[in-house]
Amino acid sequence: MALLEITDLSVHYGRVRAVHEVSLTVAEGEIVTLIGANGAGKTTTMRALSGLQPVSSGRIHFDGEDITHLRADLRVIRGISQAPEGRGIFPGMSVRDNLDMGAYARRDRHLTRAADLERVFTLFPRLKERSRQAGGTLSGGEQQMLTIGRALMARPRLLLLDEPSMGLAPMLIGQIFEILQEINEQGTTILLVEQNAHRALSVADRAYILETGSIVATGTGSALLDDPSVRAAYLGVA
């Protein structure tokens, strides 16, 4: 059974429809990516998954449990953690406190904190250098690393990443994707939203393409990479 199963999910902002009858699944251990142009509804889907945005219709199941109307904090306890898009950090807290917030919902945080911090600092040495600095004073790229690191601190079963490569230098993007694969190999299931379709498709087991709120194509990462219409629309290759 799939770890995450979304059926016919629709989301509205007031009277505006942002996501329309989207269905997708993520199996345990997979990396699945969701790609689409600006405004396609990717962030909206992620917010609905984490419980920040109400769902107008459809169902979300996690590990067999219906979580469609579950409170956001309870979803974190179930094992869903998200690194949100943009500046999702706590600006007034130090980098270290931000990371500690990632483990807020874990009962065993006292036992795992040191090791998890070490792991994040190994993945992102920049954060270690700045661990006492206030989150709000980090550069955009550093904040991006902080949100990813913070999500890892929760040791999630399902990691939701909303455009982790946004605002990062190309070299760093390469590193981030390597890190994601590494995390995945260590047992974390990943749902990845990306603009950077080429990279995303190359690391993903499977992919969905979202266009104005609806899924228009799905397949394995490599199949979509080879699909001529996808190449034309999302990879900028004729």
> Is residue 191 a contact point for ligand ATP (CB under 6 A)?
no
If one asks whether residue 207 binds ligand ATP (CB under 6 A), the answer comes out as no
φ, ψ for residue 145, nearest 5 deg: -60, -40
Distance CA 162, CA 34 (A): 9
Cβ 159 to other proteins, closest distance in Å? 12
In the complex, the smallest distance separating the C-beta of residue 34 from ligand ATP, rounded to whole angstroms, is 9
Q: Is 202 in the site for other proteins (CB under 8 A)?
A: no
Residues 157-196 that bind other proteins (CB under 8 A): none
38 binds ligand ATP (CB under 6 A): yes
Q: Rounded to 10 degrees, what is the CA torsion of 7, 10, 11, 12?
A: -170
Which stretch, 86-94, 167-175, 180-188, 195-203, contacts other proteins (CB under 8 A)? 86-94
Residues 37, 151, 92, 118: is their CA dihedral positive or negative? negative
- Return the structure tokens found at 162: 């909303």
Q: How far is the CB of 170 from Mg ion (least distance, A)?
A: 20
Q: 49 near 41, Cβ under 8 Å?
A: no
Q: Pick the closer one to ligand ATP by CB: 64 or 236.
A: 236
- Binding track over 55-94 against ligand ATP, x by CB under 6 A: ------------------------------x---------
d(CA 198, CA 225): 7
Which one of 5, 20, 42, 48 is in contact with ligand ATP (CB under 6 A)? 42
Q: How far is the CB of 47 from ligand ATP (least distance, A)?
A: 8
Determine, following the binding rule CB under 5 A, whether residue 45 of this chain makes contact with Mg ion.
no
* Shortest separation between residue 12's beta carbon and Mg ion, angstroms: 17
Which of 22/146 has CB closer to ligand ATP?
Answer: 22
Q: Is 104 in the site for other proteins (CB under 8 A)?
A: yes
Q: Is 39 in the site for other proteins (CB under 8 A)?
A: no
Instruction: Name the residue among 199, 161, 213, 208 with its Cα closest to residue 183.
Output: 161
Residue 46 CB, shortest distance to Mg ion, in Å, is 8
Binding site for Mg ion (CB under 5 A): 42-43, 85
Binding site for ligand ATP (CB under 6 A): 13, 16, 18, 36, 38-44, 85, 195
